[in-house]
């Protein structure tokens, strides 16, 4: 069996798990158990650290090399043309939630290390770190850095080529406030803070209120409930989506909108300019803000916001501005990480050179991005692939996909990249 077919067979199993927290399944834990058992049968050393963290390892002696991957996904959202949790091959393309982010690369790394296990002794320990909370705050990898051995080298196959040398800082905030709105029963939008909500629903207390609100542009109306359809996207690039909550709020007659609704419209300014958080920088670009979860129920607002910032800002500055503009809201930090910059580029430059061996005409510069990967938690780790320049993956959106030809290229590049990391680790 070819490495490509082995990877597809494993990916088919991984994609079948609905491994996100609002799926009403146990799949976030079950996919980890499955992967550990699968690798144990292959002959890897395996360890389950927590219900959402484990690792599989080749070798028992020598420096530790690691390749962190994640098995969780964002919710599928709406509008798929296939079942998001069934791997489908159409027109030489694989469709399914996680084929790029990050189950496809996870399957590829397992297959490649298994091939290496059968052939040679490496002189180092090769470990794939498996987490299933990457999309919801990365508590799993934070636990790893506190409790498990830190690797001397490695990379994270979870972003884009040619390489990622920096990742923005991130704040995940919870804002809460009480407000009595005599005509409103409930508003719901979003499932995960790091995705742009693609659906928002409002339910009023009686149908006559809908006439007074003069709502337009709704995708569905049934009795006292009206829904708005947006476009999902990654929170690192909220401008690529359409936040259904803001479509809903902007559709409400301004004379009817409540004070808190107007307050929340500040977040529709996706770079934070209106609240003093816009701060462009040459490598990272500007601040991004995504209101990913918005709920109003029983006269209480629950709002979760994803803010990504460059090295010109700090967590303290951002929190000061949020408190200033949302003075009558309680604000709680649910998760935070600082800006990640690769200071020692020795290994990174080797990986860039490898990529250009395969793509000598690609002039894409190393990337500084808003997305967060496990690389942020390891000194001088980079995110290396899997997305090729000018390739649409639709990760975090509907119909996530990967061309079979791209998966073949990934296997070739990652096979050589593993060898580069091994040689680098042997020098330590």
| 171-188: pLDDT as tens digits | 999 999 999 998 999 999
Q: Please, where are the H alpha helices in 43-182? A: 103-119, 139-147
- d(Cα 243, Cα 394) in Å, to the nearest integer? 16
The pLDDT, as a whole number, for residue 157 is: 98
Over residues 330-338, the mean pLDDT reads 95
Hey, how many other C-beta atoms are within 10 angstroms of the C-beta on 426?
A: 15
pLDDT tens per residue, range 188-213: 999 999 999 999 999 998 877 777 77
Report DSSP letters for 162-185, one per residue.
S-EEEE-EEEEEEEEEE---TTEE
- Helix, strand, coil fractions of the chain, as percent rounded to 5: 35, 25, 40
Tens of pLDDT, residue by residue over 268-298, are 999 999 999 999 999 999 999 999 999 999 9
Question: What are the structure tokens assigned to 73, written together?
Answer: 């996904």
Q: Which fold has domain 3-168+340-426?
A: Aminopeptidase (3.40.630)
pLDDT (tens digit per residue) in 349-404? 999 999 999 999 999 999 999 989 999 999 999 999 999 998 999 998 899 999 99
Task: Return mean pLDDT, the chain.
Answer: 94
How many secondary structure helices (H) and strands (E) does the chain include?
A: 10, 22
The yes-or-no verdict on residue 330 having pLDDT over 70 is yes
Q: Does 120 have pLDDT greater than 70?
A: no
Tell me, what DSSP letter sits at residue 218? -
Mean pLDDT of all residues in 84-109: 98
Within the chain, which residue ranges are assigned CATH 3.40.630.10? 3-168+340-426
CB 190 within 8 A of CB 197: yes
Angle between helices 3-15 and 27-42 (to 10 degrees): 150
Q: Which of 384, 383, 387, 392 is nearest to 406 (CA)?
A: 387
């Amino acid at each position: 069996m070819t490495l490509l077919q082995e990877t597809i067979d494993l990916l088919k199993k991984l994609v079948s798990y609905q491994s996100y927290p609002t799926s009403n399944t146990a799949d976030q834990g079950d996919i980890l158990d499955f992967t550990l058992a699968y690798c144990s049968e292959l002959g890897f050393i395996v360890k389950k650290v927590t219900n959402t963290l484990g690792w599989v390892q080749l070798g028992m002696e020598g420096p530790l090399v690691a390749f962190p991957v994640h098995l969780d996904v964002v919710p599928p959202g709406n509008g798929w043309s296939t079942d998001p949790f069934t791997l489908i091959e159409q027109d030489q393309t694989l469709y399914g939630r996680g084929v790029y982010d990050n189950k496809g690369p996870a399957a590829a790394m397992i297959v490649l290390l298994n091939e290496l296990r059968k052939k040679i002794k490496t002189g180092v320990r090769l470990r794939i770190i498996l987490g299933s909370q990457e999309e919801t705050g990365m508590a799993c990898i934070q636990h790893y850095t506190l409790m498990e051995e830190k690797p001397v080298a490695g990379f994270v196959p979870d972003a884009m080529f040619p390489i990622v040398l920096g990742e923005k800082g991130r704040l995940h905030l919870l804002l809460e406030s009480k407000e009595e709105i005599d005509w409103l029963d409930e508003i719901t939008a979003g499932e995960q803070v790091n995705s742009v909500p693609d659906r928002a629903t409002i339910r009023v207390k009686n149908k006559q209120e809908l006439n007074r609100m003069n709502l337009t542009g709704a995708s569905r109306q049934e009795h006292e409930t009206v829904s708005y359809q947006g476009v999902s996207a990654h929170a690192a690039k909220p401008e690529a989506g359409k936040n259904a909550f803001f479509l809903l709020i902007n559709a409400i007659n301004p004379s009817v909108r409540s004070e808190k609704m107007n307050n929340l419209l500040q977040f529709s300014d996706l770079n934070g300019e209106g609240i003093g958080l816009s701060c462009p920088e040459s490598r990272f670009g500007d601040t991004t803000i995504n209101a990913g979860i918005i709920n109003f129920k029983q006269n209480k607002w629950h709002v979760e916001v994803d803010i990504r910032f460059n090295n010109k800002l700090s967590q303290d500055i951002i929190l000061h501005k949020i408190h200033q503009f949302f003075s009558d809201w309680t604000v709680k930090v649910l998760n935070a990480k600082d800006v990640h910059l690769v200071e020692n580029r020795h290994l990174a430059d080797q990986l860039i050179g490898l990529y250009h061996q395969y793509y000598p005409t690609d002039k894409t510069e190393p990337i500084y991005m808003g997305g967060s990967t496990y690389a942020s938690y390891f000194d001088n780790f980079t995110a290396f692939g899997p997305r090729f320049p000018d390739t649409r993956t639709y990760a975090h959106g509907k119909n996530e996909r990967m061309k079979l030809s791209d998966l073949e290229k990934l296997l070739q590049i990652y096979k050589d990249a593993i060898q580069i990391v091994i040689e680098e680790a042997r020098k330590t």
